[in-house]
Chains A and B, each alone.
Chain A
């Protein structure tokens, strides 16, 4: 075999081979990556003094607010938002905690449902989910409001501020993303 033939053969072998086997890039349409991220959220300890006004008179509710604008970077992939709230209540009162979302103009646009109901002298763990259809509301939120409503005592006694009662709340959120072609 002459050199010319050998070279021709080598080139022919290379070029006659199929350069690619079957691949299907359209499979990308079916690809999805499900990842979830835990973010620690708010926590607090409220005591009897948190439910007294400046005249040491019992008040039935107290509130606080966090200003935080959520980045829209991965909005289109967020599918589920799941809050976990753990409470420990040593008050002999029941409580209702409401978490309300406000827009830039301070208008309430969403409330986490159900509200968190806490029985006297109890420990609870509540998981609250924002339905997928309502998730976009998070990205329109500028303020997160927290209010604690304390029920009156059954026997008519009022708080003096001397009591060692404590309501403790811990929370976290798990964000479930589905990265896919959108």
Chain B
């Protein structure tokens, strides 16, 4: 058990994505409806155990792992740091996402459609770090004419509460479609994107060197970060912002499940197609300009002494202009896309070799693609999965995922139903489970539900 807690507490420091490749379309869990509102849910009704019906946390850093730097392998740490810097891509990203389902429930309508609703809290952070900034810190700027560019520098972060209600409707025996409406209540939002500019030192003419800030355009929008003097950040303040007191927005999830053949299944979903109107405590910054300096030219004119430093500062501030804007802005949630194809096989027979359930298969094998599309960063993950029903109430799922963090991400999901109590857990990056320090990403999801199925 202690390893579980080690894992639990390390995740935030490992620095992932919002890809939930294990829980997606897994074991008819109610939580699959949050990943595909058109998922097939076969139970009669469900209620999530408040606060523990679904907890997920995932994080990752594409640059290097803790083990890359701190491995006790006899290699000097400075050599390992140097190797990590040398292997740093043009830009790497660090991401962290956490969701806590507070309320979750659903029930089947007489027409076999399934309504589900609830409320969850979500924190999301992503930052792209350009290699040039790492070089600038690691080496300095002493390489003449080397341009240190920031055009890949981008970040987003937000904390929000999400009220949602969705309907999964069976159209016919082949097709099920669904949609989920969401109301977002944002506590804070910060984003910086489409930045550009570079810094470099060149051989000068008037002086030995000239130093340049070229084509600088940096923009950062924030809401809920710079507060009024009367605002105090307490738990009740955060709660009020999470519960419709924050910056409000609307979102939509859509999805489907389609069976071209009985054993073949195609699913797809588009999540968080939505926006938040950031109107409270808004403060945005824009920095624009070009600047070139040769140094300070001394005039040796005692009759007209110059305040060189103030002149330099004034010249800089006239060239590189900082604007502060207090007008509201719209932020878009990163859209998540899921698509999967699977094939089910293996049925159960009784002792007389009669088929027990013609619609139930013990095994499912398939391929899942996930993509997140955002103004700050987009990426793609591909998963091969095998789902095995060990018992009528016990499901397992094994996944192999290739994503920007790893080419060897193995995951495991387990869902058990004991009476009306369902519990599930999903962990990925199992190969790194033997050495969490070597993981560049990790994710954990677990939950507890009351699920009442139809009587057979």
Q: Return B410 CB to nearest CB of chain A, in Å.
A: 12
Among B76, B78, B294, B301, contact of A43 (Cβ-Cβ < 8 Å): B294
B-side contacts of A17, CB under 8 Å: 3, 433-434
A-side contacts of B1, CB under 8 Å: 15
A-side contacts of B73, CB under 8 Å: 22
A71 located at the interface, meaning its Cβ lies under 8 Å from any Cβ of chain B in the complex:
no
A30 touches B295 (CB 8 A): no
A3 located at the interface, meaning its Cβ lies under 8 Å from any Cβ of chain B in the complex:
yes
Q: Return A39 CB to nearest CB of chain B, in Å.
A: 7
B435 located at the interface, meaning its Cβ lies under 8 Å from any Cβ of chain A in the complex:
yes
A-side contacts of B72, CB under 8 Å: 22-24, 27
Give the segment of A59-67, A114-122, A157-165 that binds chain B. A59-67
B-side contacts of A24, CB under 8 Å: 70-72
B198-213 toward A: CB 8 Å interface, digit per residue (1/0)? 0001001011111100
B204 touches A170 (CB 8 A): yes
A-side contacts of B3, CB under 8 Å: 14-15, 17, 19
Interface residues of B in 4-55 (CB under 8 A from A): 4, 6-7
Given contacts A10-B414, A27-B77, A171-B295, contact A40 B207 (CB under 8 A): yes
B-side contacts of A148, CB under 8 Å: 300
A35 located at the interface, meaning its Cβ lies under 8 Å from any Cβ of chain B in the complex:
yes
B211 touches A39 (CB 8 A): yes
Residues on B lying within 8 angstroms of A by beta carbon are: 1, 3-4, 6-7, 66-67, 69-73, 76-78, 81, 137-142, 201, 204, 206-211, 293-302, 305, 307-309, 390-391, 394, 396, 412, 414, 416, 427, 430, 433-438
A137 located at the interface, meaning its Cβ lies under 8 Å from any Cβ of chain B in the complex:
no
The secondary structure that dominates the A interface is strand
Q: Return B70 CB to nearest CB of chain A, in Å.
A: 4
The 5 closest A-B pairs by CB, nearest first: A3-B390, A35-B140, A22-B72, A24-B72, A27-B77
A98 located at the interface, meaning its Cβ lies under 8 Å from any Cβ of chain B in the complex:
no
A73 located at the interface, meaning its Cβ lies under 8 Å from any Cβ of chain B in the complex:
no
Q: How many A-B residue pairs have CB under 8 A?
A: 160
Chain A interface size range:
35 or more
B-side contacts of A172, CB under 8 Å: 207-209, 295
A42 located at the interface, meaning its Cβ lies under 8 Å from any Cβ of chain B in the complex:
yes
Given contacts A7-B390, A19-B434, contact A28 B142 (CB under 8 A): no
A21 touches B77 (CB 8 A): no
Most chain-B CB neighbours within 10 Å: which of A3, A40, A64, A65? A40
B298 touches A44 (CB 8 A): yes
A-side contacts of B293, CB under 8 Å: 40
Q: Return B397 CB to nearest CB of chain A, in Å.
A: 12
B-side contacts of A62, CB under 8 Å: 300, 302
A-side contacts of B139, CB under 8 Å: 35-36
Q: Return B442 CB to nearest CB of chain A, in Å.
A: 11
